[in-house]
Amino acid sequence: MSRFYLTTAIDYVNSRPHLGTAYEKITADVIARYKRLCGIDTHFLMGNDEHSQNVYRRAVELGLEPLAYCDRMELEFREVWAKLEISFDDFIRTTDRKRHFPAVQRLAQACFDHGDIYEGVYEGWYCVGCEAFKPEKDLVDGNCPIHQTRAEWIREKNWFFRLSKYQDRLLRLYAEHRASSSPRSGATKSCDWLKAASRTSP
C-alpha cells in the first residue's frame, strides 16, 4: 500500500490560533482526507513550537512558568482544531522529552558526524516580533516595517548546516526537474537561492 506523510508548520504558542494558522490546517486536512479516500496510508502531523522569546515573554506577563503556560496553550490549540474537526493523526510539542528531544538529537548528531555542521558566528538586525533577522535594506529608519519596533543588533555563536557540501548534487536534481517548472518559478528559483546561499557556507 502507498504511504503518504503530511505535516503542517508547528505554531508558536505566544497567542491563540488565528485565521492564518487555521487556513493552513484546514488546507492540510483536505489533502489528508483526500489521500485517505484514495486508500493511501496517511500520517498527518501537527503540533506546537514552544521555544521562542515571545513565548517566554508571554508566560512571564501572565505570571506562569513557561512550561505551565505551554501546557495551557496546548489545550487551547487542541480546542480550536477540534472545533474545526481537523483530522490529524499525531500532535507533537517541542517540549516533548520522550519523542521530540531524542529525535532532534539523533538528527543533529547524524549531521554532525557526517561533517554537515560547523560552528560560526551569526549577526544582524533582529526583530523580536517577527522572530527573524532583517536585512538592513528592509528596515525603515531602523525599525521593523511590520511591527514598527526598533530592530536589535544581535551577534551570537551558533551552529550552521554546511549547505555548500550538497550544492552540486541539489543543482543537478533541480535541473533534472526544471522541465516541469514554469520559467522563473519552482526549481529555477530554488537553483538561484541555492547558489546564493551556498556562497555564504564554507
CA atoms lying within 13 Å on the CB side of residue 120: 11
Domain 116-161 has CATH 2.170.220.10: yes
Residue 165 has pLDDT above 60, yes or no: yes
User: What's residue 178's pLDDT?
Assistant: 75
pTM above 0.75, yes or no: no
Query: Are the CB atoms for 114 and 121 separated by under 8 Å?
Result: no
- Half-sphere exposure in the Cβ direction for 62 (13 Å, CA): 16
Residues 101 and 44 sit within 8 Å (Cβ to Cβ): no
- Domain edges within the chain: 3-100, 116-161, 163-198
Residue pLDDT, tens place only, 126-164: 998 888 899 999 999 999 999 999 999 999 898 999 999
Fold for domain 3-100?
A: Rossmann fold (3.40.50)
pLDDT above 90 (res 29): yes
